[in-house]
Structure 1
């Protein structure tokens, strides 16, 4: 099974992806935990190109091409081989993040994101867990964390609110694939709900 975690910056999705991977491994599952952008050597090189340096270094269109190239390499080198071996693949962000961050935040380019995805990727996760979080709380967490991804966090609170609305709309439009979980609760409570949701999907 191919699972993805999505959410605004600071939502706790990376923590929940890691906790789920640990929990499934303890239950005897073979699990690959990965992330986007990145996850394979080539994709990690592209990640550095996109996330480090001046936020205006690339045009929105170029950024979408870079993310799609990284995702294609990630699929070829890691995700598809792991799935072929019967493993559970858990990915911290996937194409839905590109739909939101590049397709929505940097101009109305969602159609371009979807077209490139259909041409070069051609696959969605089997299940996407959206960790829903208050935008102001998430932004405060993300800024406090720092790191290279501050490149997107610099877009500010308005973007966080738009991203949250966008993710919720995406979940509504793709209800068969998405499960929305309230992230405004203790980490262990959220993790318990995530595990129950995934157990149901794995059956």
Structure 2
């Protein structure tokens, strides 16, 4: 009697044998560690710049140059006051501003340079009356300074005072002839640029040729 041969039973692999290596790695593959570098904060450069400006202002405070420190601190607060990451700097700047104001209000001395810097600060903000007052105070302490005379001329031109602008510009050019070139390219004098007196002052050769 012939009996049928039994077919060999295939071995079913165990779960451990059947499962592929985790992560799709082949057996024996080496593991590689990956280091993730956190991105540099976007405000870092701005923070560094604010620190530099703050240091310059504090240096003037430490020297008791209240008038010189005040516009630097005001500009710092104006530029960075809304930045949440810079509150530690702007809060300190506001504190120093109060100190400067207190000293200046109670008879603190203000140098001609300090008054000049305040004039520049107010002029840049379009506060021409206050700028003119500061420049005139500066000139009283440093009569004949060509840069102060030039600044007064520029502010008077911005205010629409054509006669005053030309008068002070003439004094500035007499003190330093280079102011002639500066005024020729300075947009602050656009309101008087077509005035014959201005042309005669900043472009004497052209004015002479026109008269021939």
Shorter chain as denominator, the TM-score bin is under 0.3
Under a length normalisation based on structure 2, what TM-score does the superposition of the two structures give?
0.24
Under a length normalisation based on structure 1, what TM-score does the superposition of the two structures give?
0.24
Higher relative contact order (CA 8 A, sep 6+): 1
